[in-house]
Structure 1
Amino acid sequence: MNLQIVERNERSSLLEDYCFTHENLTLIDLFKKSVRENSSSLAIEYEKEKFSYRSIDQLSNQMAHYLLSLSINMETPIVIYLNNGPFLIISILATIKAGCSFIPQDSSSSLGKINDIVKDSGAKYVITDQNLDIPHTRTIHINSVKKNMSNMPKEDCNVSISPKNSCYIIYTSGSTGKPKGVIIEHRNIVNYLLWAKDYYNVKKNRKVLLHSPVSFDLSLTSMLLPVISGGSVKILSRSNDINKLISNTEEHHSFIKVTPTHLIAISDLLSKDSFLNMTIPNLIIAGGELLTKSHIDKWVTRNETLTFVNEYGPTETTIGSTVFSFRNDREVSESIIPIGNPIKNTNIYLLDKDLNKVAFGEIGEIFIGGAGVGRGYVRNPKLTSVKFLPDISGNGGVMYKTGDRARYDQNQNLVFLGREDDQVKIRGYRIELGEVENALLKISEVANASVITRFNENYTYNSLVAFLEGENVKIESVRKSLASLLPQYMIPELMIKIDKIPTSKSGKVDRKMLENKLKKLDDKNQFVVSKKIVEDLFMELLNVEQVSLEDDFFEKGGHSLLAIQFIALLRERHNVEFPLIEILENSNVEHIIITLEKLLPNK
């Protein structure tokens, strides 16, 4: 069944008629089948290096034999903490072949986060390309792995792996301030991949770009789907680099999977002509956060033959649980793009607080049952029992309580309506506001902290805002300390010092009052002032329509002459002497804003 836009009755018929018969397969079974059928075909491409299916099969076999020599047990958790490259995928395959569970972590993850994951998961080994000393685990440098595995057999390990064995563990943000690890079994990921291979019509000898951080389960589609389908993965050297994503995207690629924020970033980064001439595949999969018409308006006017898929699913139910396909925004009646209907072998329930189904059109909480529901949380039976409940269908299975609200529209498509709790998604990353608040409270000068989110006017971009209480709070110092505790995407874009965080009569933080305070912020807020000055000047000098904190002046097209011109305009318009060395040594936009913030008059 190929991906196509069909009438609802026809699509429903297809869903009913199609049923998987592969309940006894593991991820390694799918990979080995692909190796047999595509032995000499390209499997991995990274810069100038190319690896065939036979090559990565043999290398991962050798590495699996080496891991087994370390006296590991079935389902032993192993952290994969590597920079992007071929051995990222080879290490993952080897870990699975040895019967272990891989825990993928992006190379930009802080050492503090890796320590927390090791402690929480009980991981015995960390495979890395960095020189680390992590307590309670053995750190193995990838160069040592390569050396030790070279004399190992190239044949299969023949470890007996069950579809019910753990395949991987993804860590997501936790409301208590402690990240929680989600255990996904082989049968869960096999169900998703077999569905995706068919639905997205993934063909042999077609490439897919791996550009997202591997700790984000959205990237598993781009990493695993091609290698079980006879396609290839082209690995970009830096995760989340929009410029690399743009320059490497080609029309003949199977698909490109991005967050809605990526769509905005790409269309805003390029000039109109460059955007219109950019080569892209005919299938764009969006996932990880709310998708609106505003995210896609430039894309649909560019090319009406593009097929978009809005894929929704918590990590706990294996990457994607529902999909909505469309070719242009005329096919959707509301500003928010629906999340559609369940994928194969998946049940979606909209329930009230008493676990009764709500009436059609009413708002309910999404519960997900079926083949994608994971095992639960690592070493956390209490939370697992709260979130993983007996399926109301009475089939003996389990359903997952998502905390997401939704309703059905007039076309019987699910429409996502936000969270029941304080969990949010920022640029595709799932974040518990409580985890950010707990990290802030670990900083000595912060007496109290509360974090909220804010959207821009058309709901295409949201960000975190932290309110900080404490006599000795210095924003730059807090931001620096927080960087050692949290990954970059969890650090609030704006931090505001406040005398006292408001509370309601019940003693809870009054977030509505904080939101009102945020709205009333005026140009006396130095960070806001600095941010606007830098953004306006960069948009003027670089001829771009949007600038974000993560951008780099030189990567967005700047050079030394434009840097000098930027300094001259600051002097002329704002009476500020900005040191050129600050841009040359650190051209990150956020650093430039913070530097300017200290130089502005009336500080």
Structure 2
Amino acid sequence: MRDALAVGPDDTAARERTLLVSWLAVLSRCVGEPEASTAVAGEAGGLDRISAVVADVTWAGLGDALRRVPLDGRPHSAVDARGTLADDTADLVVRLGPGCAGLELAYDLAHVSHHAAQRVLGYLLHALGRARTAPDATVDLGDMLGTEERRRQLVELCGARVDNGPDGFVAAFQSRAAAVPDRPAVRHREDVLTYGELDSASRRLAHRLRGLGVSGGDAVAVVSDRHLDWVVAMLGVLRAGAVYLPIRPDFPPSRVRGQLDRADCRLALTDGPGSTLMSVVAGTDGWSGTVVPIAEPGAEPVAVDLPPPAGEQPAYVYFTSGSTGQPKGALCAHAGMINHLWAKVDDHGLRPDDVVTQTASQCFDISLWQVCAPLLVGGTCLVVDVDKQLDVAAFTALLVRHEVTTIQVVPSYLEVLLTHLETGTVRLPRLRSVSVTGEALRSDLVRRWFAVLPGVRLLNAYGATETSDDAMHEVLDGPPERDLPVVSVGRALRNMRVYVVDERLRLMPEGARGEIVFAGVCVGLGYLNDPQRTAEVFTTDPYHPGERLYRSGDLGRWLPEGRLEFLGRRDHQVKIRGLRVEIGEVRAAIAAVPAVIDAAVVAVGDGNRARLVGFHVATDEITPDDLDKQLAARLPDYMIPAHHLRLDALPLNDNSKVDMVRLTRLAQEATCGAVAFEPPGTAAERRLAMVWSEVLGLPTERVGRHDDFFESGGTSLSAVDLLTRLKHRLSLADLLAGPTLREVALRLGSVDSDPAAG
């Protein structure tokens, strides 16, 4: 590379400036920000910081802006690009060689590999070439990756190509049911359906739907709690070639009506609670579709199967939170569905003797694989009621009783479960695999897990509803090798491609932050009957013409070992109780309340401590209870803010936009209860306050004796965490009956002093 800057001997300053401009352009691209910062060795041996805005400026213009920087051949260091260009640190120094005869790159092999250094040098030479050949062009590095790195990202880092065969889930299930008709397929409480019974019931329902006028591709709502009939309904809809649309019976009627209208759904299958909800939707909200019960006692069996749906046909739609204030229905095809199911079978190692718990809400897409994946291999799905999940002792007892082998939980519940298992009072000898999803998985939690259950695999799952659920797995059979705060999300699943790109869908260098996008068979069909929002995030894969790509809005980077690190969101989407929530939808719901003239929402805390805080400006006084009631008619419970704060006006920043930083600070200060603060008054209250603060992520000194656990941000899941840390000396009913710190401490005291309480 000695001749890379070979120009006349009098052009030393110009060459230095070209080098610095090129280096700043490389750094800007690698950190994904318009402003780049580097360091230049100072005359006294120290480092001087240099920053520049690289966007919307020409190479020459950027050089002119740096003319005041006296360089004098000093080296340029990448110390400010730590973690973005190389393995662990960017311990790199770039400088002109003696007499400015060439370019040198110095690096510490303890931190930077030869491979990483060569990549960085390639980026810099690419930038130098652009800066010198077109100085009046806008700074733009284009496609800066070398051939080998480009091939690695487009081939090696993508999922394996696997032939899923001609059969989708429907045909595969029918084949399995014919082979093992007497095996238990689904259990709920004391009830069970064998494969033969589930096959017969779902076939009969599919024919019944066709008789009611349902055609292929029509949306059919299943408004039901989770039980055996719900599973029959799910399979019946799929077997009819219709689109499965799950709806919880406790959802607000107006929200349900909006989903039905968006899906152009004219038929709903219901159980008892679902029928009650749909009578309101049909009455108050004026929906004119048909409501029929799932169960049809005394119906004659049907022997003939309908033709199974083709892979490109739509299979299901799940409505997710929408930033515009309206939910959007992510529509996915049978081909993506079966691909994801087989990936779950592979990475969990599912076998005919496996029992998989079904714990997710029916309106959460992971509920689908929890039911269907075990049915592909002759295993059993165990539907678990919410009350059993919220009592960790009852949940573990259920796992033991039914010899469960595979479960899926959010990381915050994994910690609650692990805390219970660490007591040594219960063992799970049949448990083999645990899927973790919905939140970042902390490495310290993983190390704790394998210290207690060294033989139980953890599978960190990551994806999106728009990509047929999970698109990546990090499969862990022991503690993670890399010392990161959170576990990576692993590698792409079979037949999936995952890229990290810039705003123009150009591949980012390995180690550089960019947007995570997905391509391959699992990419969904878009948002149902919503072409505008579909066009915003679904597009053509530039590296595989004719195939589709989904822009997730998530940020990430490739680690040197070829694993993807998740780095958060680029927008205002958050996770509450593991569910996706668009801040804009919650804000719009508050703003729609009569008398409210402006609103804003922020999220505070993380994991199971994450909670929403709403701010409103109103013409009249509105109590938090009034707001909750109004929002309950528009939003599911997990999207309703834990706190409501009234302001005379929303604060603005220097750009005249709502100051979200200030609102977040106000929210954090206000999440310790609405009553006058009084510190814990007894030793028992002080001990409880320490546990309370850990569970809710609050400073101990902000926990008062009159604070209500749930008004302070507590959820059903964090309540389980609290009760587990209190060694189950209280029940959830006890906490609900007296949720203040003082009441809980008194109840603990009475339990501990009762000789019969042990």
Whether 1:74 aligns to 2:190 is no
Identity of aligned residues (%): 22
- In 2: Cα distance, 1:519 partner to 1:319 partner: 33
Q: May I ask how many residue pairs the two structures share in their alignment?
A: 555
Q: Which moved more, 1:232-241 or 1:348-357?
A: 232-241
| Aligned residue number for residue 416 of structure 2 | 265
Shift of 1:194: 1.6
Whether 1:549 aligns to 2:710 is no
| Aligned residue number for residue 353 of structure 2 | 205
**Is contact 1:173-1:435 (8 Å) kept?**
yes
- In 1: Cα distance, 2:397 partner to 2:162 partner: 38
Alignment deviations for residues 58-94 of structure 1 (CA, whole Å, 9 cap, x no partner): 0111111111111112111011111111011100111
| Aligned residue number for residue 356 of structure 1 | 506
Alignment deviations for residues 473-500 of structure 1 (CA, whole Å, 9 cap, x no partner): 2112212322222111111222222221
Whether 1:62 aligns to 2:204 is yes
| Aligned residue number for residue 231 of structure 1 | 379
Alpha-carbon RMSD across the aligned residues, in angstroms, is 3.5
Shift of 1:313: 0.3
CA spacing shift, 1:64–1:514, aligned 2, 3 Å = same
Query: Equivalent of 2:302, from 154, 161, 176?
Result: 154
Shift of 1:540: 4.5
Whether 1:479 aligns to 2:479 is no
Whether 1:401 aligns to 2:587 is no
CA spacing shift, 1:202–1:278, aligned 2, 3 Å = closer
CA spacing shift, 1:351–1:66, aligned 2, 3 Å = same
Shift of 1:464: 1.4
In structure 2, give the amino acid aligned to 1:488.
D
Alignment deviations for residues 374-412 of structure 1 (CA, whole Å, 9 cap, x no partner): 111100112112211111213421010000000112322
Other structure's SS at 1:68 match: helix
Whether 1:526 aligns to 2:674 is yes
Query: Equivalent of 2:530, from 365, 380, 383?
Result: 380
- In 2: Cα distance, 1:92 partner to 1:351 partner: 37
In structure 2, give the amino acid aligned to 1:171.
F
Query: Equivalent of 1:20, from 134, 139, 162?
Result: 162
Query: Equivalent of 1:436, from 586, 594, 601?
Result: 586
**Is contact 1:242-1:265 (8 Å) kept?**
no
**Is contact 2:735-2:744 (8 Å) kept?**
no
Alignment deviations for residues 288-327 of structure 1 (CA, whole Å, 9 cap, x no partner): 2222225445423322222111111011001111111223
- In 2: Cα distance, 1:561 partner to 1:124 partner: 40
CA spacing shift, 1:538–1:106, aligned 2, 3 Å = farther
Q: How does 1:47-58 map to 2 (within 5 A)?
A: 47-58=189-200
CA spacing shift, 1:568–1:70, aligned 2, 3 Å = closer
Alignment deviations for residues 522-554 of structure 1 (CA, whole Å, 9 cap, x no partner): 97x526959999xx869849x998473324899
**Is contact 1:123-1:137 (8 Å) kept?**
no
- In 1: Cα distance, 2:352 partner to 2:328 partner: 36
Q: Output the TM-score relative to the length of structure 2.
A: 0.67
**Is contact 1:322-1:339 (8 Å) kept?**
yes
In structure 2, give the amino acid aligned to 1:210.
Q
Other structure's SS at 2:247 match: strand
CA spacing shift, 1:519–1:569, aligned 2, 3 Å = closer
**Is contact 1:44-1:232 (8 Å) kept?**
yes
**Is contact 2:219-2:245 (8 Å) kept?**
yes
- In 2: Cα distance, 1:449 partner to 1:379 partner: 29
| Aligned residue number for residue 581 of structure 1 | none
| Aligned residue number for residue 289 of structure 2 | 138
| Aligned residue number for residue 126 of structure 2 | none
Whether 1:172 aligns to 2:320 is yes
- In 1: Cα distance, 2:314 partner to 2:414 partner: 33
- In 2: Cα distance, 1:460 partner to 1:190 partner: 31
- In 2: Cα distance, 1:62 partner to 1:532 partner: 62
CA spacing shift, 1:397–1:199, aligned 2, 3 Å = same
Q: Which moved more, 1:29-38 or 1:321-330?
A: 321-330
Q: How does 1:538-577 map to 2 (within 5 A)?
A: 540=688, 546=695, 548-550=714-716, 551=719, 558=730, 570=742
Whether 1:94 aligns to 2:244 is no
Other structure's SS at 1:362 match: coil
Shift of 1:565: 11
Other structure's SS at 1:65 match: helix
Other structure's SS at 2:596 match: coil
CA spacing shift, 1:264–1:537, aligned 2, 3 Å = farther
**Is contact 1:125-1:137 (8 Å) kept?**
no
Shift of 1:154: 2.3
- In 2: Cα distance, 1:21 partner to 1:504 partner: 54
Whether 1:185 aligns to 2:333 is yes
| Aligned residue number for residue 300 of structure 1 | 450
Alignment deviations for residues 37-76 of structure 1 (CA, whole Å, 9 cap, x no partner): 2111110111111111010100111111111111112111
Between 1 and 2, higher relative CO (CA 8 Å, sep ≥ 6) is seen in: 1
- In 2: Cα distance, 1:123 partner to 1:527 partner: 47
- In 1: Cα distance, 2:567 partner to 2:626 partner: 37
- In 1: Cα distance, 2:493 partner to 2:743 partner: 58
Whether 1:493 aligns to 2:642 is yes
Shift of 1:508: 2.8
**Is contact 2:523-2:548 (8 Å) kept?**
yes
| Aligned residue number for residue 255 of structure 1 | 406
**Is contact 2:447-2:479 (8 Å) kept?**
yes
- In 2: Cα distance, 1:118 partner to 1:565 partner: 37
**Is contact 2:500-2:558 (8 Å) kept?**
no
- In 1: Cα distance, 2:490 partner to 2:536 partner: 26
- In 1: Cα distance, 2:659 partner to 2:507 partner: 32
Other structure's SS at 2:417 match: helix
In structure 1, give the amino acid aligned to 2:217.
E
**Is contact 1:41-1:205 (8 Å) kept?**
no
| Aligned residue number for residue 464 of structure 1 | 612
Q: Which moved more, 1:364-373 or 1:490-499?
A: 490-499
Shift of 1:222: 0.9
CA spacing shift, 1:350–1:527, aligned 2, 3 Å = farther
Tell which structure's C-alpha radius of gyration is larger.
Answer: 2
Structure 1: state its 5+ residue gaps: 1-11, 575-603
- In 2: Cα distance, 1:530 partner to 1:93 partner: 55
| Aligned residue number for residue 36 of structure 1 | 178
CA spacing shift, 1:231–1:522, aligned 2, 3 Å = closer
Query: Equivalent of 1:502, from 644, 651, 663?
Result: 651
Other structure's SS at 1:526 match: coil
Other structure's SS at 1:75 match: coil
**Is contact 1:66-1:152 (8 Å) kept?**
no
| Aligned residue number for residue 367 of structure 2 | 219
Structure 2: state its 5+ residue gaps: 1-153, 696-708, 747-758
- In 1: Cα distance, 2:181 partner to 2:715 partner: 44
Whether 1:195 aligns to 2:361 is no
Query: Equivalent of 1:112, from 217, 237, 254?
Result: 254
**Is contact 1:23-1:187 (8 Å) kept?**
no
CA spacing shift, 1:353–1:44, aligned 2, 3 Å = same
Other structure's SS at 1:226 match: helix
